[in-house]
Structure 1
Amino acid sequence: MTDNSQLRLKLSVLPKEPGCYLMKNKNDVIIYVGKAKNLRNRVRSYFTGAHDEKTMRLVSDIVDFDFVVTDSEVESLLLENTLIKKHQPRYNILLKDDKSYPFIKITKEKHPRLLVTRTVKPSNGTYFGPYPNAYSAHETKRLLDRIYPLRKCDTMPDRLCLYYHIGQCLGPCVYEVTQKQNQEMIQGITNFLSGDTKSVVDELTNKMNKAAEELEFERAKEYRDLIHHINATMEKQNMLTSDMTARDSFGYFTYNGWMSISVLLVRNGKLIEKKAEMFAMNDTVEEEFNRFVYQFYELDSNLKPKEVHLPVAINPSILKEALPMKVITPKRGSKREMVDLANKNAEIAIKNRFEIIARDEARTVEAIDTLGDVLNIEAPRHIEAFDNSNIQGADPVSAMVTFIDGKPDKKSYRKYKIKTVEGPDDYESMREVIRRRYSRVLREGSPLPDLIIVDGGIGQMNAAKSILKDELGVFIPVAGVKKDDKHNTAELLYGDNAEIVPLKKNSQTFYLLQRIQDEVHRFAISFHRNTRKKSAFRSALDDIEGLGPKRKQSILRAFGSVENIKTKSVEDFKRIGIPENVAERIVEKLQNNK
């Protein structure tokens, strides 16, 4: 248990009631929200016994907690969801993908239209779906537009449009279209979207045969193409259920302290979507599962099916009370098979993820070991790389990136504005930044890298080594990475004479060097652009009376670059809140600078 006596005291007086608990860090920020049937037992369990690495990390950050007692476990689930959305704690998992699914809508208008929408308002139309993606919904709509010529225009025009001339609209803007005609088309669309494509195909087949008998072969060909298009667009998957009930089947799998949950969405007897989420577990399996399912439907209320099917290992009582849908635990038959399939998908997803991570880590370790072998040094687990950036000596900067075990450690990146160098002197810039970086590292007692990589050849390498050896008295291996004429990583240089180290271009070690060089170059260029932009902006607008830092920033946000600002008039500046007299001074100065 923690040594914090105040925390121990709070733990000892916790009630044995259901409720929610809120874990806080040293800054009094809520970092985790959970629920419990028994608050005392659940919260105390965090500070006793053994835990996996992720829970230990959470516990190490906890310095205080708060709690809310509820009347039941169901209420605690609902409250937990509200608190998570409000505080967004770093150790909780919230489903981020809240994009709604697309639906096809028949509007409730005198002359109805067919639309694809993600917003469902039953009062102003009839909706069909959801569809697995926008492409599927739009393809279906395009097909229906060719078969049923409903109105297309948002507002009724006063003349016939292209859709009338290509046979996809009856032209209610000019010609009378009766309610009976509209209702017949709506009924056909409704049947089609409800799964009855056979009657539509039969009707088109009759029209095709009739057109052929009347020697209208072009029209017969159009009907034939429509039939083929229906079959291609609406090609069904194997029937997964014996009825058309909308249902979602959930499955899960836990592995190495992580949980994977898979959801199979079945609509109109077809599997339209599989969704899978993976996250670190900070709670029991059942609590993590219930939380996920509840949030799943909270984020997209239009997605709710008639039935939700759960694995047998999950007690359904909480979700039965929390969800408005029918919650079932299938014991046998096709519905149980669908839940088993969801479990299998969850297992495959999480094991594949860890397999990819393991393989990637193995390749990276191999690349680092090989790099150490070819340079005849210890495997460089800690690498720091430098790159300079300037334009003809203007606004010179340097940047450093850090790679630990082959992966970027962005919190250790550093930026340097060159202070002592006049003009475009890459070697002196390298000396300055190496001196500044490692004199500070030595002063603060921070760990030295196993390898330094500089962007460039023997000149840059010697500049770095001269500072390290002659001024600071430390030995750190220094390698250079040169680019070819296409600015791609070409050669690794090492040794007193900067000899080329033989590396295969398709080796993991070469890929590692490419990633390091690309990252430090990106970081340096980005820093230089920002520095140059600010410098150019300051110099162009310096010494203008009434133009302070805040107004300069508002101008830059509104117009972007200095070149763009030079094209603006007094009225343009006034529109963004710059007083007229100041705007006139800006335009005058910029005109003179041209």
Structure 2
Amino acid sequence: MDELSLEIQVQTLPNNPGVYQYYDKNSKLLYVGKAKNLKKRVSSYFNKDHKSYKTTSMVKKIAKIKHIVVNSESDALLLENNLIKKHQPRYNVLLRDDKTFPWLCIKNERFPRIFPTRRVIKDGSEYFGPYTNFKTVNTLLELIKDLYPLRTCNLKLSQENIESGKFKVCLEYHLGNCLGPCEDLQSHEEYQQNIKKIRAIIKGDFKDSLDAFKKEMHAYAENLQFEKAHEIKEKIEVLENYQARTTIVNPKVNNVDVFSIISDESSGYINFLQLKRGAIVRSHTIELKKKLDETDEELLELAITEIRQTFQSISREIYAPFKVNVGENIKVTVPKLGDKKAILDLSLRNAKQFRQETFKQMKIVDPDRHTNRIMAQMKKDLRLSEEPRHIECFDNSNIQGTNPVAACVVFKNGKPSKKDYRKFNIKTVDGPDDFASMEEVVYRRYKRLLEEGQDLPQLIVIDGGKGQLSSALKALDKLGLRGKIAIVGIAKRLEEIFYPGDKYPLYIDKKSESLKIIQQLRNEAHRFGITFHRNKRSKSALGTELETIPGIGEKTALELLKHFRSVKKIKNATLEEIEEVIGKAKGKIIYNYYQNNS
């Protein structure tokens, strides 16, 4: 596709949290921003007048919009920070490296201290975060301090120094904030056990702590100490919103390139995330057209080489969903769980999002190409010999055994063709018999198409399981059409696709467009059939109640129902009220009939 208009780019953005990037016509980055909802936030730039001259000037220069989808608003904030520092866009406030987000450090010591820091130093210490504000960090530290008293001094508490009596307890010990490991009043084993529990709390496992806070809050409230109760409530809210892990910045993952792929019948979509010093600094997604049914492995290997050259990447490690051959000097890791898998999942999510937006844009800009792609995908998914450009779907409607009818809806090129819809009154079947009714309507439909020389469909869909499918096949046998038209049945419960002669059904991916079109067909046939059935039942009820009265026809009955809304109200109406609607002569007939039969 050619360069898309800004309107289409905005229209097809997702409603997810993420980061957006504005580029000018020369592909120069103008601005990086974060959003809780990408579509709403970006749309706001183009839907209103801006007070700031700079903002107005920037919007006029925007030619292309890129975005990265993330899991949360906090992740969006962190990613925005990384990208601004890395690329320093013209219209962003300049961020210095010393103005970074806070981390929580468990120091690599015999009796570890725990404290907040903005600097990550590779000295064997553990770092958790980063956090988007110090409020979360301070609440966590207060919680930890309340539960597990820890030392705050920076003394070198080696076993030799403690045994020699080099240190004395300080005020923190007397205040109950420390248990005195400096004088061997707390053992190394006990201290380490506390650190283990604290580590679990920082990682997000603090259910017991939350329960204790809630009990404390309720106790304060019962004693009418509402200010203290509110303080505890604020701590609970911060902890409940606390995220233990983020995929955006992770000190355990150093310089690495992350690649993922999702493909369909015609293309592969490859996303690239670049991490430097543990932070995501770039996201880029490309589409590769298939020429000879290339595998995902072939497409990904080609894309990795091209993307790494484009962005001049020198990373010696790659994360990928499967093993790829990209050179002897590059380590390929296939993450299965943990932090590395979370980063790979984020990459895959962005590849899927790009594919979805490409389809939306294609549908607007090039509807024929969009249709061709869907038809090719349906042919593959449903194991057909040709593309199902013309599909017909049948549904029986016979509620409570009355007024049996059937409906046939027609889709052409994946869209409803309502002028070709047909409805059937069941003529040869007595009573509720879905199988016999299906056989009748399928036979009548294609007998007529053959007689009139009209085009037959490439695919027939039967709403029902094996029984209805078998009945439809009998009709095709009579007409000599079996094997000439593909036919499947779709069962409602598990969306199973049944084929003639196959013992086991086919299960199509629940998110596939092929299944969505089959479901749309089935739902449309059901809607069309139910509407016809209701109309027929209404007319039947009308006939038994009013049209059987001598001297009263359909037109008069409809006038009465239109005015009174129900037969019951007609029965209870006065002579004058009825005469006012249909005149004196017919009014008297209706009134006398219900008076004599009441």
Both proteins in one fold, TM over 0.5: no
User: TM-score, structure 1 length as denominator?
Assistant: 0.38
User: TM-score, structure 2 length as denominator?
Assistant: 0.37
